Structure 1
Amino acid sequence: MAALSPLKLRVEGMDCGACALKIENAMKRLPGVSDINVSYGQESVALTFDEDRTSALTIKEKIRALGFTPISERKDLVAPRSAPVLSAREPWWRGKKGRLVIFAAAMFGAAFAAAQIEPQWSQWAYSAAAVISIVPFARRAFAGAISGTPFSIETLMSIAAFGAVLIGAAEEAAVVILLFAVGELLETIAAGRARAGIEALIDLVPRVAFRERDGVVERISVDDLALGDIVIVRPGDRVPSDGKILEGFSELDEAPVTGESVPIAKQAGDKVFAGSINTNGELRVEISHVAADNTIARIIHLVEEAQGSKAPMARLIDRFSAWYTPAAMAAAALVIVVPPLVFDADWMTWVYRGLATLLISCPCALVISTPAAIASGLAAGARKGLLIRGGAALEMLGKVRTVAFDKTGTLTLGRPQVTDIVPIVGNEGDVLARAAAVERNTSHPLGIAIVEAATARALDIPASFGGAIAVPGKAVTTRLKDGFASVGSPRYAAEQTAPDESVSRKIVALEEEGKTVVVLLSGKRVEGLLALRDEPREDAAVGIARLNAAGISTVMLTGDNRRTADATAGKLGLVARAELLPEAKLLEIADMKKLGPIAMIGDGINDAPALAAASVGVAMGGGADVALETADAALLRNRVTGVADLIELSQATLGNIWQNIGLALGLKAVFLGTTLFGVTTLWMAILADTGATVLVTANALRLLRLGLSVRHSTERNQ
């Protein structure tokens, strides 16, 4: 069996869902072509093909025959994170559709001039102009018909234009063709505006970097940066790629990446994102991601991937439009033949009205109604650090009735501090040092806090022998010089031994203060207690309040003890479900899903099963890498208010979709009625179709302007 080759083409002139469908149908008919993915949002066609059965040249020629232009080829499918190569946008008059408008206008102008010079030539002049002008569209209609799309807009246009010439309405036929060409050009311009968001992201990354090597600073291309390279970021420069600050202190404007408008203070050891703007001090940064894999590149890839996927609503519209167009053509035929045959009406009148019906029935506006809104919603979210993996997730977010939050690192900062040490055996230093020995290699936030506290006190941490054994949600155990020691929850300690009543009272008192208590055990003997507290995020209460005000139930799922969980939840205004092991969280989510769609908000690492089990999973608090690689959506700003922003964006997008569908079908219904009563002319009919498409696209673009800036501004002022 011959090996399959990947191919990705950037296609000029693909500006709506109907265009993408034409190409997809044509590719399906080529032998040896599979895995076809056509995205009009990206102007791209991705597929695999058997070179022994179909050549790349044949694929390109088939696309050209449909009226599109494959202008570049990408074979980077094995490295999909590479930033897309975008061609410079040409002035409208240099593009193929712009030239068609000029050609159709010239033909109409020539016919008009001829008619003014010699009125008796009028019919012949306009007929010639219409027939010549329709040729490019008729060729595309024929190519589409033999490639699997017989009911295209070009087919409807060609039939209507030739029919109008035959019944003596040649002048209107020429006007209709010109207006159709103008409408296609307007679609191209509108689609270009929708794609501008991705191009703006690409422009965020500088083209050059200042690399320091052997004490010498050299100017190089960002693409030449390698892992571990040291770069100098001067005041006013953009960070060339993701990395870690080695030296320097400055404030970085991360708004281009996360939407955070206030510059963030950064110092040695802090991470920086590609595209961030260094506002004052000079920084030495060690590169941690190459250009093709930095945060901006991953965001671009994620948004492109999301725009290429279809939401359930979009798939429904596609299925509807598949039979809508043939049905509309049949209806136009009935308009032509029924009145003359049944009611002895005038044939020419009803042929004219049937042709107008044919033009009105074009489904372009309906087909584009959903994907245009979804693409704008995804781009608007990306501008504010709200990353959504596709239309399905964006659509589901607007239907969520319950939001479940993890506690540590999600509602809280994820940086717990040791607040109390209660020794039962020895002194505070002994208890803290032995607990740190057990937690030395942990990645859990509580364990990290214990080790940091011991290090800060310069304690002599005992050596451990062998690896630590973790029981999720319960304890960590390791072997020290004098035997096995464990750091676990009070519940785990109660399973191992019966603590003194005074110890139990102390645990209760600490937990009622909102602190998390862990118990140090040596074998089955309690040696001490450590209490830690992780403060809630500053915006957590506001974020929860916004969700509650919207009628969305909020709940905190945590493995922490009930008293600590209730204390934290009480401050924030949500319900707590505590002492949950990972599998118990899954059961809780399954129960809540029975009542309606549920969103799970977690850090993207420990909560991966819960994120996957929810109707939609949202990652936050785990850093850019994790946020971009996990769950259905990610909050780059790590703000709880971002959850409400996501849901509001989804609801705005869903509302926009229904507005678009209403516009598309409503305009057609109005003009269909006026056509049957003889009010609508052919040129009005094509204006109805083109106008609906432009209105739907413009309405979808409103989502880009909505952003969430007003809401963020309100929050900052609170």
Structure 2
Amino acid sequence: MTVAGSFKLRIEGMDCAACALKIENAMQRLPGVSDINVSYTAGMLALTLDEDRTSPRVVEEKVRALGYTPVAAATTPEPKALRSRDRQPWWRETKGQLVLGTGALFVAAFLLAQFFPAWERWLYSAAAFVGVIPFARRALFGAMAGAPFTIETLMTIAALGALAIGEAEEAAVVIFLFAVGELLEAVAAGHARSGIEALIELVPRVAFRERSGTIEKVAAEELKVGDIVVVRPGDRIPSDGEVIDGASDVDEAPVTGESVPVLKEPGAKVYAGSINANAELRLRISHVAADNTIARIIHMVEEAQESKAPTARMIDHFSRWYTPAAMLIALMVIIVPPLVFGGDWMTWIYRGLAVLLIACPCALVISTPAAIASGLAAGARRGLLIKGGAALETLGKVKTVAFDKTGTLTRGRPQVTDVVAISGSEDTVLATAAAVERNTSHPLGQAIIEAAQARRLELPVAFGGGLATPGKAVTARLKDGFASVGSPRYAAEQTSISAEVAGTITALENEGKTVVVLLSGRTVTGAIALRDQLREDAIEGVKRLTDHGIRAVMLTGDNRRTADAIAGQLGMEAQADLLPDAKLATIDRLKAAGVTAMVGDGINDAPALAAASVGVAMGAGTDVALETADAALLKNRVTGVAELIALSRATVANIWQNITIALGLKAVFLILTLFGVITLWMAILADTGATVLVTANALRLLAHRSH
């Protein structure tokens, strides 16, 4: 017995949402098929298939019968876009050949009619009849597959109806223009995929692998975890890895959208697709090609484009009864005026056929997915990864943004902010404390050592390793005797602290800082304050939100004093001392008041990210940032939250613009048709024109800039 499994199929020629809907309807009628997801933007069909009931070959044959070309099946989660796609000129594609074929038939009929005018009607009738066959065939198979009300059905009825009332020339023109419209949709769909294709181009094809002291040129796909590669200046990094030798600026803009090159030294992580700027680097590969950052981004964007946004689902539902309703209205236009008002049958049949062509739902059905696809691609280009249309729409409705503190609003590690010298100079206090902490792994000690290194201080020599008293102090023997770095409580246990020094310590702690005291023997010689500093763009990021009327709240497990100090700098609310369950309860309360986004580092904040209306993970391309939450900020910037919301609002506005264009143009042309102003070929141009306008409007999002 075969267990149902995932099945994916790339489909050529599926270039509009109506095409995708037709394939989805056909798949629903096959036994053993479930979880159907069709994306015209990605050109993919994904479903769960029970091969005991329906074989993959049957699925492919059904797709082919509908007029599309199944290219490759896959059952692995490998990013589809990484598989090569052969590019062909438009005239070699099926839709291009239909344009050339129907155009040639029309031109031939026109030329022959000049020499044989008596045969004009029959020549155009023959051209129209032959030209409509591919579309009629697709309409028939669509009806047999459970989709009787397709665009091809409307066009076929209109063309055959025009032939029946003697409008053979217009029928031939309509068929040709319909073919042109389908070709334009294919071109537009190609542009909609450009965001993914631009990412594909970032992946280098070759790498220079080092083995046994020799360097060999290999395909990037051959690299394995642990391989050593050499990346020359100007080369793209072939896969994710870690620098083991060399120092160079690396341009990560293709991956994170960060415009300023980042210095990479031994121990630094690098990402596939980044560009090495000015010096040779040796890297140890940490991910194979199919699992590197670019591959995962492509996979995420493709899956996001395959998922349907709420508005898209609404439009799909609407279109299921829209087309039969349009056919009913066209029928009423044909029969009501002659029967009730004594109108001319030929006139109203002609107008009814024009109504059929105007009613084609292409522009309406494409209005939402085209905008969503462009919005997702625009975000990916700027380091804003959004996992689907639903998340993209929800972001624009956010009323409250809840931020984790550590690692989100702050850098996630303490830094020295103040050095207070009670005896000697600040540099002496800092150098002595760093000497005591020289061998420590504690974050506070590491921060003190880094601060001393930044000032290029010469550290006193310590004899032997430091002795740690957990939670209290570290003590080391220096040339001048024993010195300790410990908490104020530890210092108070060892000696008396003057009121002035105690006041200084309290003032620093009231600013949300952690204070350690330097003791030389039993004498207090200085104090050092440390704090997890704000990210450079945290203030601007929060301000952008509040300027747009969005409430910003910090949720932290840290103490009230520290939380208030950080929140005060940012001009936002703070809720402190929150255990994980309390943080979840707070998210629930915020959601009750409106759509709430949670922004965190994607690790310890995972429950809160999942509980929020939409979760946003910080992280420069890390696995966690890509796999948790509904969106990820590859630039690791707080301003990215406002950029996400702005992109969402622009996308939703674009969707409603598209719907207005689609329905508005149809309404205008419908009225003009009833007054006899519109011809059949003008009607099909109106539908094609609306589709082109909607697509062009959606593509504007690719150039979206957040302000």
TM-score class, shorter: 0.7 to 0.9
Q: Are 1:596 and 2:601 matched, yes or no? A: no
Cα pair 1:233 1:278 within 8 Å, conserved: yes
Q: Deviations over 1:4-26 (max 9, x none)?
A: 35432211000111111111111
User: Which of 168, 171, 174 in structure 1 is aligned with 2:172?
Assistant: 174
- Matched residue of 1:261: which SS? coil
User: Which of 138, 142, 145 in structure 1 is aligned with 2:143?
Assistant: 145
Question: Which moves more between the two structures, 119-128 or 46-55?
Answer: 46-55
Cα pair 1:252 1:265 within 8 Å, conserved: yes
Partner of 2:193: 195
**Cα distance, 1:285 vs. partner?**
0.5
**Cα distance, 1:284 vs. partner?**
0.5
Q: Are 1:75 and 2:75 matched, yes or no? A: yes
**Cα distance, 1:58 vs. partner?**
2.1
Partner of 1:583: 581
For residues 244 and 167 of structure 1, what CA distance do their matches in structure 2 show? 73
**Cα distance, 1:637 vs. partner?**
0.6
**Cα distance, 1:681 vs. partner?**
0.7
Q: Deviations over 1:361-410 (max 9, x none)?
A: 11111111001000000000000000001111110111111112111111
User: Which of 684, 687, 690 in structure 1 is aligned with 2:688?
Assistant: 690
Partner of 1:280: 278
**Cα distance, 1:176 vs. partner?**
0.5
Report the CA distance shift for 1:591/1:370 in structure 2 as closer, same or farther (over 3 A): same
Partner of 2:128: 130
Partner of 1:217: 215
- Matched residue of 1:594: which SS? helix
- Matched residue of 1:534: which SS? strand
For residues 489 and 197 of structure 1, what CA distance do their matches in structure 2 show? 56
Partner of 2:364: 366
- Matched residue of 2:549: which SS? coil
Q: Deviations over 1:403-427 (max 9, x none)?
A: 12111111112221256799xxxx9
For residues 51 and 563 of structure 1, what CA distance do their matches in structure 2 show? 62
Partner of 2:202: 204
Count of aligned positions: 668
Report the CA distance shift for 1:642/1:6 in structure 2 as closer, same or farther (over 3 A): closer
Q: Deviations over 1:596-625 (max 9, x none)?
A: 111111111121122112111111147522
Partner of 1:15: 15
**Cα distance, 1:80 vs. partner?**
3.4
1:27 partner amino acid:
M
Q: Are 1:24 and 2:24 matched, yes or no? A: yes
Partner of 2:520: none
**Cα distance, 1:34 vs. partner?**
2.9
Partner of 1:42: 42
Cα pair 2:293 2:621 within 8 Å, conserved: no
Partner of 2:245: 247
- Matched residue of 2:597: which SS? strand
User: Which of 460, 470, 484 in structure 1 is aligned with 2:465?
Assistant: 460
Once the two structures are superposed, the pairs formed by residues 288-299 of structure 1 within 5 Å of their partners are 288-299=286-297
Question: Which moves more between the two structures, 272-281 or 611-620?
Answer: 611-620
Cα pair 2:231 2:282 within 8 Å, conserved: yes
- Matched residue of 1:667: which SS? helix
2:38 partner amino acid:
V
Q: Are 1:544 and 2:542 matched, yes or no? A: yes
For residues 432 and 339 of structure 1, what CA distance do their matches in structure 2 show? 95
- Matched residue of 2:263: which SS? strand
Partner of 2:478: none
Unaligned runs of 5+ in 1: 469-475, 478-486, 491-499, 520-527, 712-718
**Normalised TM-score (structure 1):** 0.87
For residues 606 and 50 of structure 1, what CA distance do their matches in structure 2 show? 38
2:465 partner amino acid:
D
Report the CA distance shift for 1:510/1:581 in structure 2 as closer, same or farther (over 3 A): farther
- Matched residue of 2:574: which SS? strand
Cα pair 2:433 2:448 within 8 Å, conserved: no
**Cα distance, 1:268 vs. partner?**
0.9
For residues 32 and 527 of structure 2, what CA distance do their matches in structure 1 show? 68
For residues 227 and 44 of structure 2, what CA distance do their matches in structure 1 show? 34
Q: Deviations over 1:41-71 (max 9, x none)?
A: 1111123433343332222121111110012
Partner of 1:509: 507
For residues 703 and 516 of structure 1, what CA distance do their matches in structure 2 show? 46
For residues 385 and 413 of structure 1, what CA distance do their matches in structure 2 show? 19
Cα pair 2:256 2:621 within 8 Å, conserved: no
Q: Deviations over 1:487-543 (max 9, x none)?
A: 9999xxxxxxxxx99899676422223314699xxxxxxxx9985312211111121
Report the CA distance shift for 1:447/1:106 in structure 2 as closer, same or farther (over 3 A): farther
Report the CA distance shift for 1:448/1:173 in structure 2 as closer, same or farther (over 3 A): farther
- Matched residue of 1:415: which SS? strand
Report the CA distance shift for 1:81/1:163 in structure 2 as closer, same or farther (over 3 A): closer
Once the two structures are superposed, the pairs formed by residues 496-535 of structure 1 within 5 Å of their partners are 508-516=506-514, 531-535=529-533
Cα pair 2:196 2:298 within 8 Å, conserved: yes
Partner of 2:479: none
Cα pair 1:66 1:140 within 8 Å, conserved: yes
For residues 516 and 304 of structure 2, what CA distance do their matches in structure 1 show? 43
1:23 partner amino acid:
I
1:291 partner amino acid:
A
Partner of 2:66: 66
Partner of 1:230: 228
Computed over aligned residues only, the root mean square deviation of the Cα atoms, in angstroms, reads: 3.2
Cα pair 1:86 1:199 within 8 Å, conserved: no
2:627 partner amino acid:
E
- Matched residue of 1:416: which SS? strand
For residues 488 and 701 of structure 1, what CA distance do their matches in structure 2 show? 59
**Cα distance, 1:546 vs. partner?**
1.4
**Cα distance, 1:38 vs. partner?**
1.5
- Matched residue of 1:67: which SS? coil
Q: Deviations over 1:338-360 (max 9, x none)?
A: 11111111111111111111111
1:185 partner amino acid:
L
Q: Deviations over 1:230-267 (max 9, x none)?
A: 10000010000001100111101111001111111111
Q: Deviations over 1:68-96 (max 9, x none)?
A: 001223232xx334653131221110000
For residues 550 and 277 of structure 2, what CA distance do their matches in structure 1 show? 40
User: Which of 322, 333, 336 in structure 2 is aligned with 1:335?
Assistant: 333
**Cα distance, 1:574 vs. partner?**
1.9
Q: Deviations over 1:538-579 (max 9, x none)?
A: 111121221121111112222223332222222222222223
Report the CA distance shift for 1:488/1:398 in structure 2 as closer, same or farther (over 3 A): farther
Partner of 1:4: 4
- Matched residue of 2:82: which SS? coil
Cα pair 2:174 2:684 within 8 Å, conserved: yes
For residues 561 and 261 of structure 1, what CA distance do their matches in structure 2 show? 36
User: Which of 642, 657, 660 in structure 2 is aligned with 1:659?
Assistant: 657
Partner of 1:53: 53
Once the two structures are superposed, the pairs formed by residues 256-275 of structure 1 within 5 Å of their partners are 256-275=254-273
Unaligned runs of 5+ in 2: 421-428, 454-458, 473-485, 490-496, 518-525
For residues 448 and 401 of structure 2, what CA distance do their matches in structure 1 show? 31
**Normalised TM-score (structure 2):** 0.88
1:38 partner amino acid:
V
2:64 partner amino acid:
R
- Matched residue of 1:359: which SS? helix
For residues 537 and 673 of structure 1, what CA distance do their matches in structure 2 show? 58
Report the CA distance shift for 1:109/1:435 in structure 2 as closer, same or farther (over 3 A): same
Report the CA distance shift for 1:631/1:124 in structure 2 as closer, same or farther (over 3 A): same
2:363 partner amino acid:
A
Partner of 1:625: 623
Cα pair 1:83 1:292 within 8 Å, conserved: no
Partner of 1:350: 348
Report the CA distance shift for 1:362/1:534 in structure 2 as closer, same or farther (over 3 A): same
For residues 382 and 567 of structure 1, what CA distance do their matches in structure 2 show? 35
Partner of 1:493: none
Q: Are 1:398 and 2:396 matched, yes or no? A: yes
Question: Which moves more between the two structures, 402-411 or 674-683?
Answer: 402-411
Cα pair 2:81 2:196 within 8 Å, conserved: no
Report the CA distance shift for 1:347/1:681 in structure 2 as closer, same or farther (over 3 A): same
